[in-house]
Amino acid sequence: MTNIEKICEFLDKAGVFYFLTTDGDQPKGRPFGFRLVYDGKLFFGCGTFKNVFKQLTANPKVEVLAVSGNDFMRYDGEAKVVKDDGLLQAVRAASPQLMEMYDKNGWEMGLFYLENGHAEIRGMMELKEEFDV
């Protein structure tokens, strides 16, 4: 199993995960759900009109936090925004209802993956696994 597959497996178990950014000197977190593996990278997406997108472009150091039962995963790195027609078509195929809503409202989906990533999966009292992505 690749490290990306390990992250995806944990995110599948968790269902909802939290995406953490900063707004100036204030930490910000919000639930996320969309993700897609494309070209060997784990992509996340959100509207370019949203504060979270503005925050991750201003300071690309971000973290994903997911909880499943008594275990949690932290996955951090630097957000790398990608504009690619093939990627956008893959998003359309994976989430047609989401993209229909974006198209209907004239919104743009900002897609990004984490560079220089590091993940750790922990129980409440111990480190279970740690790896670079």
Q: Give the pLDDT mean for 122-126.
A: 93
Max distance between CA atoms of the chain, in angstroms, equals: 47
Reference 64, options 122, 2, 21, 3; nearest CA is 21
pTM: predicted TM-score of the whole model, two decimal places: 0.94
Q: List pLDDT tens digits, range 82-119.
A: 999 999 999 999 999 999 999 999 999 999 999 999 99
In whole angstroms, what is the distance from residue 35 CA to residue 64 CA? 12
Phi and psi at residue 50, to the nearest 5°: -85, 150
Per-residue CA distances from 116 to 43, 56, 75, 103, 119 (Å): 14, 15, 10, 32, 10
Q: What was the pLDDT predicted at 124?
A: 87
Q: Residue 91 burial (CB < 10 Å; 0-12/13-18/19+)?
A: buried
CATH, range 3-132: 2.30.110.10
What tens digit of pLDDT does each residue of 11-52 get?
999 999 999 999 999 999 999 989 999 999 999 999 999 999
